[in-house]
């Protein structure tokens, strides 16, 4: 991890009210090694792939082996998604929304389309990272990891709602994966 990425990441953590702990090299279930920035504090942040191409992970995540494996596979999947930055999501959502607003002559409909595209895009990004986790760890381990995470972090009701809006449920991701596999397999 270069100095600039690290100092940017530290600044980002400070903005979130989190405390920098250490830079850790973690071995993924796939055998691949990944450097992560470990932090403490901040109840709203569990783990994130940042715009500085670094991964930040709350120290509590390491209390559960399954939770750690899930978070690591999920966040490294995000690092590979070059399109996952919000600027790109906003750019691809805004053009169709403006067109809809012009054709319907209704700014509200345009805004609804924009919000739907933006959240749809976010769900696709999370679906992609979670399907990578399911492929690597298996659905049962991912479910157990999520249960461990809940026990470790006690999300607030508001946090839970926000998470539900921005992330597809794991059972839905699994269902879609199976459906796609069935379709692919029937060729």
Distance of CA 66 to the CA centre of its chain: 17
Question: Residue 101 Cβ, how far from Zn ion at the closest point, in Å?
Answer: 30
CB nearer to Zn ion: give 10 or 78. Answer: 78
DSSP 85: S
Residues of this chain that bind Zn ion (CB under 5 A): 126, 129
Report how far residue 136's alpha carbon sits from residue 47's, in angstroms, rounded to the nearest whole number: 19
Beta strands 55-58 and 47-49, pairing class? antiparallel
In the complex with Zn ion, which residue's Cβ is closer, 72 or 101?
Answer: 72
Q: How far is the CB of 62 from Zn ion (least distance, A)?
A: 18
The candidate with the shortest Cα–Cα distance to 53, out of 32, 35, 38, 67, is 35
CB of 20 to Zn ion, least distance (A): 21
The minimum distance between CB 105 and Zn ion, in angstroms, equals 37
Work out how close the CB of 173 gets to Zn ion at its nearest, in angstroms, rounded to a whole number. 11
**Smaller CB distance to Zn ion: residue 58 or 110?**
58
The smaller minimum CB distance to Zn ion, of residues 100 and 142, is found at: 142
Return the residue matching tokens 């994966």.
177
Helix (H) or strand (E) holding 5: helix 3-15
- Which residue number, 126 or 148, has a Cβ lying nearer to Zn ion? 126
């Amino acid at each position: 991890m270069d100095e600039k990425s690290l100092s940017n990441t530290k600044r980002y953590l400070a903005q979130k009210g989190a405390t920098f702990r250490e830079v850790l090299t973690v071995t993924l279930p796939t055998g691949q090694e990944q450097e992560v920035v470990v932090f403490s504090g901040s109840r709203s942040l569990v783990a994130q792939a940042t715009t500085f191409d670094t991964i930040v992970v709350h120290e509590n995540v390491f209390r559960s082996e399954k939770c750690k494996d899930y978070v690591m596979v999920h966040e490294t999947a995000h690092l590979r998604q070059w399109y996952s930055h919000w600027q790109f999501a906003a750019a691809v959502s805004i053009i169709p929304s403006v067109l809809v607003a012009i054709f319907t002559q209704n700014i509200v409909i345009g805004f609804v389309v924009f919000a739907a595209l933006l959240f749809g895009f976010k769900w696709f990004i999370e679906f992609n990272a979670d399907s990578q986790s399911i492929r690597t760890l298996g659905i049962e381990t991912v479910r157990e990891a999520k249960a461990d995470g809940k026990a470790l972090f006690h999300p607030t009701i508001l946090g839970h709602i926000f998470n539900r809006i921005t992330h597809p449920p794991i059972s839905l991701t699994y269902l879609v994966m199976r459906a796609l596999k069935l379709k692919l397999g029937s060729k």
